[in-house]
Amino acid sequence: MAAGAAIGAAKPYAGAAGAGCTGAGAAGGRRPSTAVSAAAYDSARHYFLITARQWGQNYEWQAHRPLAEKAGLKPEIAQAVADGRRPSGMAADEEIVFDFCSELHANKSVSDATYQRALEKFGEQGIIDLTAVNGYYSFNAMILNVARTALPANVKAELQPFPR
């Protein structure tokens, strides 16, 4: 084995240094450096929204919904995510990202079928990137929720809590 080669549990982290999960790379609405293509990233930007929805995080939601729609996400897809429904009319890469992110949040992992679809579309680094960015925005949502971060005065909360 080569010196410095990742083994065992460390293997998934080998490519994570550029996973786009650092605060500087993911902040400010800039596209993080990821293996997910620019076109797929922009068209599938709803993974920010999926994470905000899962955490009931209206601040993240109001920050990212306009960016996602400006990048080409159909408003009806964003609304379906806000409502907790599976959107219809998604492009193929949007479906892969939606399934991956939704399963990751709901099951703390993804099915073999979803993993394979994501692997074929985005490669191993893309899977690490999608996982890392979901973790990063989950971290942000936890901080914002615990800090009780308020929406700007003129902004109405779009997300309603999921039933418990």
Q: How far is CA 77 from the centre of its chain?
A: 15
Q: Quick one: pLDDT band at residue 44, thresholds 50, 70, 90?
A: low
| pTM for the model | 0.76
Encode pLDDT of 111-122 as tens digits. 999 999 999 998
What are 59-68's pLDDT values in tens digits? Answer: 999 999 998 8
Closest by CA position to 49, among listed 23, 11, 18, 87 = 87
Q: In the chain, what are the domain boundaries?
A: 34-146
